[in-house]
Structure 1
């Protein structure tokens, strides 16, 4: 698949994830979602990532 097609697919996927995030009222913006996706693609444990995000939110409040 050409690089342009991969970039287009990545943007569309991120847009869809952002739409879902907004519908579910996760409070995650597009940049944060992009970082999370990158971490998951790099092998981060999803449950651990979610727990870290929750903990960071607690500390923020």
Structure 2
């Protein structure tokens, strides 16, 4: 019989899977790990709009230095 902790982990995985599907539809280019980190930050009080701005700025900076593999992302 699964424990409560196992049930919580499974539920969290399912939430991230759903968020990842939505993320792919919206072409956010965030993987499951990045989404998990974003969710955790937001759950801990980080402003979602501010987080989005930081992610965009970091991507722009990485692209300008040639570190981001898909420059089309920067055009969105």
TM-score scaled to structure 2, two decimals?
0.75
In the other structure, the counterpart of 1:59 is: 61
Distance in 2 (CA, whole Å) between partners of 1:31 and 1:4 is: 19
Following TM superposition, the consecutive aligned residue runs of length 4 or more in structure 1 with deviations greater than 4 angstroms are none
Give the aligned length: 61
RMSD over aligned Cα atoms: 1.3
**Which of 10, 22, 45 in structure 1 is aligned with 2:24?**
22
Matched, 1:8 2:10: yes
Distance in 2 (CA, whole Å) between partners of 1:43 and 1:25 is: 25
**Bigger-Rg structure (1/2):** 2
Matched, 1:31 2:50: no
Structure 1: gaps (5+ residues): none
**Which of 46, 49, 52 in structure 2 is aligned with 1:47?**
49
Q: Which structure shows the bigger proportion of residues in helix conformation?
A: 1
